[in-house]
Amino acid sequence: MESYKGYIHIYTGNGKGKTTAALGLSLRAVCAGKKVFFGQFAKGMKYSELGAVKYLPNFEMKQYGRNCFIYNNPEQEDINSARDALLEIESILVEGKYDLVVMDELNIALFYKLFTVEQVIEILNKRKENVEVVITGRYAPQQLIDKSDLVTEMNEIKHYYTKGVEAREGIEK
């Protein structure tokens, strides 16, 4: 595998598609022979993408959240789980065995103060130089935006959930 500098991407904003974009990049990376680790902070529900590990070589996915997103004040279990996840991701980034590491919904974990942006930046600074990193979730903090090399904001212009369409398997979940 060729050696190159890995960059930091952020996919943020209130529109649909942040995790989907990260999954698309993951698929592209795997199809190019790269190894991908996809860690989902704050997610513990069954999403269709969990099945990807059965079909994609060199793709690993792990959920660190509980049954659903955090909507209120996080409980101690949420905080402990997120902090354990951050420690595991740190070792993955330092080891450098994956070419792409996705930290899905990391921005939500930061928004709910499950850990600090300073801790995340410190971990990003320790990563192997060739590791590409994708961070998703609404409310990306400015410090993380400043640290990143690519930032994409997904803006909701129109969405069918406003007409009562529930999340559909294979599309939204």
The token duo for 160 is 């069918």
Is residue 69 included in any domain, yes or no?
yes
Count of structural domains within the chain: 1
Is residue 129 included in any domain, yes or no?
yes
* Spatial CB neighbours of 30, under 8 Å, sequence gap ≥ 6: 36, 56, 57, 58, 59
Is residue 12 included in any domain, yes or no?
yes
The boundaries of the domain holding residue 22 are: 8-163
CA atoms within 13 A on the CB side of 141: 18
* Spatial CB neighbours of 148, under 8 Å, sequence gap ≥ 6: 8, 9, 10, 135
Is residue 170 included in any domain, yes or no?
no
pLDDT at 71: 63
Spell out, as residue ranges, where the chain has pLDDT lower than 50. Answer: 1
Is residue 24 included in any domain, yes or no?
yes
The token duo for 32 is 């190019």
Is residue 3 included in any domain, yes or no?
no
pLDDT at 160: 87
> How far, in Å, CA of 160 to CA of 136, rounded?
22
pLDDT at 1: 46
Stated pTM of the model: 0.91
Is residue 116 included in any domain, yes or no?
yes
> How far, in Å, CA of 58 to CA of 56, rounded?
6
CATH of the domain at 121: 3.40.50.300
Is residue 169 included in any domain, yes or no?
no
| Residue 16 φ/ψ region, left for φ over 0, alpha for ψ in the -120 to 50 degree band, beta for the rest | beta
